[in-house]
Amino acid sequence: MGDFANRIAGLDIARSLALFGMVIVNYKLSMSAEENGPEWLIIYTGLFEGRASAIFVILAGIGISLMTRKARYTMDSGTITRLRRTIWKRSFFLFVLGLGLFLLGWDADILHYYAFYMFIASFFIVVSSKKLLGSAVFILLTSQVFQIIFDYTRGWDSTFYFYEDFWTVEGFLRNLLFNGYHPIFPWVCFFLFGMWLGRLNFKDKKLRDTMLIISFLLSIAIEVSSFVLIHLTSELVGIEIAQYFFSTKPMPPNVLYMLASSSTALVVILLCIYLSDIFRNHIMTIALISTGQLALTHYVGHFIVLVFLDMFGLLNNQTLLFATTSSLLFFVTAMIFSYFWRKVYERGPIELMMRKISG
């Protein structure tokens, strides 16, 4: 395998690890287990909150750039139109799938948001890289203004677990655009950033090394800045307001959170590319790659497992250790399934269904 193939393998590994992180977060939330465990485990599982899903979205943006590379080079109107229609069909598929999961009780679904990211991104597939980044910055700053002007808590119940008016037009749009789990403002910035990354030459090892160092140092600098700003302003405006504007937690998704998540996501993605190069033929590497290629199927699968746990009374008020162990067991099972599935089929069950519908 050449460098370009290893790059793709690295992206699949990163996608599988992002899936694992999302499962950990979703299981502990579904089981109300966030604080019901030892301090070290609370800190460990807290690292994935809003970070794993950010990696997932950034990788999707990279994928769209790779998919539409020919259109950018040729600027052929027929190719551009065909690719946009394909993206629109996939967006619609994911939207319906996501709402289906939501109707079945999965309140933290990301797929229906993801569908809108893709739809918006379809209009950026041939714009310049400068405009791509400029649009992301504009949306990010606009989102921060929204968080200052509007009530971020509107629509949520007192526990911040249930969105009370989701199934109204106003509530759905508010949740989608502003204060849901993954609102378009600013989460689409992750997708646009991924599209920008997808245009870079990752075959250039020097570029990868430079990006890894910069993104690692930037992630540390942002976390330190967050800590200092919260400390300096908490006595003036109160700890809640200070955290609202300067925390790197995902809710609300302020500027520092978006920058911190983007930089840590890039660190993870680059490390996975190196990993795929060093251990390219290792069975664990192959299993991780296969799992990443079936990520959509496993995302739906992890919700189905929650349904079964609920049926047997194992879902509510569990310990964090139980939630984390369940996540690990699911992921290991997903790896084994993916490894053997990919020996027979090119794509996962739901991936194949989406491909048949969208072309």
Mean pLDDT computed over 220-225: 97
Q: Six-digit token pair at 52?
A: 């794993």
In a domain, 213, yes or no: no
In a domain, 9, yes or no: yes
Mean pLDDT computed over 107-126: 95
In a domain, 296, yes or no: yes
In a domain, 42, yes or no: yes
In a domain, 190, yes or no: yes
In a domain, 238, yes or no: no
CB distance 315 to 105 below 8 Å: no
pLDDT of 72: 94
pLDDT of 164: 92
In a domain, 81, yes or no: yes
CB distance 13 to 295 below 8 Å: no
CB distance 243 to 230 below 8 Å: yes
DSSP letter, residue 179: I
How many whole angstroms separate alpha carbon 57 and alpha carbon 237? 33
In a domain, 220, yes or no: no
Mean pLDDT computed over 124-143: 97
Model confidence at 1, pLDDT cuts 50, 70, 90, reads very low
Model confidence at 3, pLDDT cuts 50, 70, 90, reads very low
Residues with Cβ within 8 Å of residue 69, at least 6 apart in sequence: none
For Cα atoms 55, 59, 65, give the angle at the middle one, nearest 5 degrees.
150
CB distance 26 to 312 below 8 Å: no
Overall number of domains in the chain: 1
Mean pLDDT of the chain: 93
How many whole angstroms separate alpha carbon 29 and alpha carbon 142? 29
Q: Supply the range of the domain harboring residue 54.
A: 3-203+257-358
